[in-house]
Amino acid sequence: MSSRPATLGQLKESGWESVPVKEEVRRNAIRRIAAGRPLVDGVLGYEETVLPQLENALLAGHDVIFLGERGQAKTRIIRSLTGLLDEWIPIVAGSEILDDPFGPVSRYARDLIEHKGDETPISWVHRDERFGEKLATPDTSIADLIGEVDPIKVAEGRYLSDELTLHYGLVPRTNRGIFAINELPDLSERIQVGLLNVLEERDIQVRGYKIRLPLDVMLVASANPEDYTNRGRIITPLKDRFGAQIRTHYPLDVDTEIGVIEQEASVVRPEGIRVEVPRFMAEIIATLSQLARQSPHINQRSGVSVRLSVANYETVVASAVRRALRLGEPEAVPRIADLESLPASTAGKVEVETIDEGRDGHVIDRLVAQSVLSVFKASVPGEKLRAASGDFDSGEILHAGDDVPAGSFVGALDKFPGLRDVVMSLPGQAGGESPAMIAAGTEFVLEGLHLSKRLNKDAAGSRATYRAR
């Protein structure tokens, strides 16, 4: 910081050039695109859909509104746009609205430069400080966004007609930056009107003050499409002023969903316990969300967030760790028994549409079973199923469940060669033949055989017994 110009005169001598914020974003976006780098880091599944549209919008210098259901990374994308700003920019020292030293707009900055000239002190602001954000709520006021009279400044002796009595709102305080409004339809219509000038004329109006405060700001907003009819709407003149409207979406396939899970999940890893998640368990969690987004029993207007997948993944891992702690095992590997814990992490994230009260749990259980069966059919070749289920024809039974130690499955499989062959051939078993991985694979195959109507299952509490039909 010490090497940067500290006065207006030094800034002029340095050759620094002032550019509008949208030009600044465009310039940095061009560099990223030319270098083959994504505009937004950490967002998966949008490479061929959302991100190209975002690139077009930024290159065109547009204000952007993102439309999408909850849990579609709208806020993450918006906040990451600060990475397209220059790392540091100079401002007139002490300016509340980050005045450009070469083009001051506030009365404070203009008076200071008129008084001190090239000796006007300069401060440097990091790009993270050039982002403003407001969650739209019905009680949001024009004062919050645009500004209001500051009674303290009036009490100090200034006249109401003095521009210096203004208390600037969030929008002018984000001058020369990016301002975001989340859930825009929740903003009352009369407040939305106050944003019309910001988006078109690029200035603000505060009560009866006869001032023109030109702003250099990029406006970005998010909205749930259903909010147009549920909680409010975006007025037509405001929608018209956004240059780009980009529709987000949920992961289009299981692999992308798993990628998001692995990126976002925070799993418990106690000291002394190795945690491993079989590929088929991750696929079951991801498939559950995918099926929920297609289910007629789930309210699709409210959406099924990716947060459901993340929470469910964290829950089954926690359940496996709890079992390992109770049984004194060195490995924690989620298995079918841990799916019993999913209703707690699922019920609050989906809206079940059912006529009968108390049927929410039944709908969730069916979705879980469909997920297991779907992954099972994709993971186990059909020709091996007959041998696996045939092991039970002699009357043998096999116990499974949360209270069954992993080691019990290793010895039990000696009696079921067909079943063992299927278990050991499951794809993606990163733990090899460890007892915990064998236990997870065995429960998965047993449940798959049951759901495909090749075995019977007797369930009592956390214990399940599998036998021939």
The per-residue pLDDT for range 77-93, each reduced to its tens digit, is 999 999 999 999 999 99
Domain 8-247 matching CATH 3.40.50.300: the answer reads: yes
Report, in this order, helix, strand and coil percent for the chain, each rounded to 5.
50, 15, 35
Mean pLDDT of 230-259: 88
Cα dihedral 372, 375, 377, 381, rounded to 10, equals: -130
Distance between CA 367 and CA 453 in Å, rounded? 17
Predicted confidence (pLDDT) at residue 175 exceeds the cutoff of 90: yes
pTM score, two decimals? 0.86
d(CA 311, CA 251) in angstroms, rounded, equals: 16
- Count CA atoms closer than 13 A to 406's CA, side-chain side: 24
Cα–Cα nearest to 423, from 402, 395, 400: 400
pLDDT digits (tens, 9 = 90+) for 135-171: 988 888 888 888 776 666 655 656 555 666 677 888 8
Instruction: Judge contact between 294 and 304, C-beta under 8 A.
Output: no
Assign 47 to helix, strand or coil.
Answer: coil
Which amino acid belongs to residue 420?
R
pLDDT value of position 159: 56
Structure confidence at residue 130 (pLDDT):
95
Question: What residues does each domain of the chain span?
Answer: 8-247, 254-468
